[in-house]
């Protein structure tokens, strides 16, 4: 699954899309995706979290293995964009 999702997330990072990352310990971190690698490690800027332990985040690095799921708003990403990315990556699989 990560081989398929890496190019999709990389494309979102190039667009500086705002995402919401839910960790396995149920902490939610919101920020702009600036970098993603092949292990789905994420780097976010302009971060915020409701957790009292993570109050002063500006930039953060999230290990891919600690991520439960990633979500983004419908305004930031269109169906056409995902369709193009999926078709593009489907050619290489």
**Domain range for 70:** 2-90
The CA-to-CA distance between both ends of the chain, in Å, stands at 11
Q: What CATH code is carried by the domain that includes residue 20?
A: 2.30.30.100
The torsion angles phi and psi of 9, rounded to 5 degrees, stand at -70, -35
* Coil, strand or helix at 10: helix
Q: How many domains is the chain built from?
A: 1
H/E run at residue 84:
helix 79-90
- Per-residue DSSP letter, 66: G
> Which pLDDT score is estimated for 1?
46
Q: What pTM value is reported for the model?
A: 0.79
SS3 string of 48-64? EECCHHHCCCCEEEECH
- Per-residue DSSP letter, 26: S
At 37-81, the pLDDT tens digits run: 989 999 999 999 988 888 788 899 999 999 999 998 777 666 777
> Which pLDDT score is estimated for 76?
66
> Which pLDDT score is estimated for 13?
85
């Amino acid at each position: 699954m990560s081989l398929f999702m890496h190019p999709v997330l990389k494309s979102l990072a190039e667009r500086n899309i705002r995402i919401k990352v839910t960790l396995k310990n149920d902490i939610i971190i919101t920020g702009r995706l600036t970098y993603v690698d092949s292990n789905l490690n994420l780097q976010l800027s302009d971060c915020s979290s409701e957790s009292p332990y993570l109050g002063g985040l500006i930039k953060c690095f999230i290990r891919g293995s600690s991520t439960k799921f990633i979500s983004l708003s419908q305004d930031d990403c269109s169906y056409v964009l995902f369709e193009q990315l999926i078709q593009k990556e489907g050619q290489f699989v």
